[in-house]
Amino acid sequence: MKNKGYWEIKEHVFEVSKNFKNRTEFKKKCGMAYDSARHHRWLDEMTWLGNDVGRHPKGYWKDKEHIMDEAMKYSTKEEFQKGNLTAFLAAYKYGYIDDMHWLVKQKQHKNGYWNYKHIEEEALKYNTKTEFFKGNQTAYRAALKLGVINDFFMNNYVEY
């Protein structure tokens, strides 16, 4: 246990931070020192703490090229949104989403599409109710509404 005020001394915080590869590790393993560094705005001075995996510098998603490069990884708007919400929201905010002609909207079914036959075809793609729910919430909810969910799954997971 360190004395009260120990982490208020810049040299102490800097010394301990050198034991970590990135900010996330620093925060997880020495939270009090990390909180002090954040509070005093010393983190940017700790150049030995590498970028966290998956993190981008401030302003990264303001750049159209970065957003477009990220969007190229996906074929639908729904995939893009699930894959990288930050980039997806930036694409809308800055008006780039309309330039992404390769992103098609997922096919929407007409009202009444989810009958027993179609629900069965969809449900057979999944092993559990949970997988079914995560894979196609619309079909799952239709199965619940029609009272046929248990026709397709032996196990009785809690229904959403």
Q: Which two tokens stand for residue 129?
A: 């109710």
pLDDT at res. 108: 67
Tens digits of per-residue pLDDT, 67-92?
Answer: 999 999 988 888 888 888 889 999 98
Q: Report the DSSP beta bridge partners of residue 104.
A: 76
pLDDT at res. 75: 83
pLDDT at res. 52: 61
Three state DSSP letters for the chain: CCCCCHHHCHHHHHHHHCCCCEHHHHHHHCHHHHHHHHHCCCHHHCCCCECCCCCCCCCHHHCHHHHHHHHCCCCEHHHHHHHCHHHHHHHHHCCCHHHCCCCECCCCCCCCCCCHHHHHHHHCCCCCHHHHHHHCHHHHHHHHHHCCHHHCCCCCCCCC
- Dihedrals φ, ψ of 76, to 5°? -130, 160
Contact 82, 102 (CB under 8 A): no
Amino acid sitting at position 110: K
Task: Map out the domains of the chain as residue ranges.
Answer: 6-45, 60-99, 109-160
pLDDT at res. 53: 56
Q: Render each residue's pLDDT in the chain as its tens digit; 160 residues.
A: 788 889 999 999 999 999 998 888 898 999 999 999 999 989 888 888 866 655 677 788 899 999 999 999 988 888 888 888 889 999 989 989 888 888 866 566 778 889 999 999 999 999 888 888 878 888 888 999 999 999 988 755 455 5
pLDDT at res. 76: 83
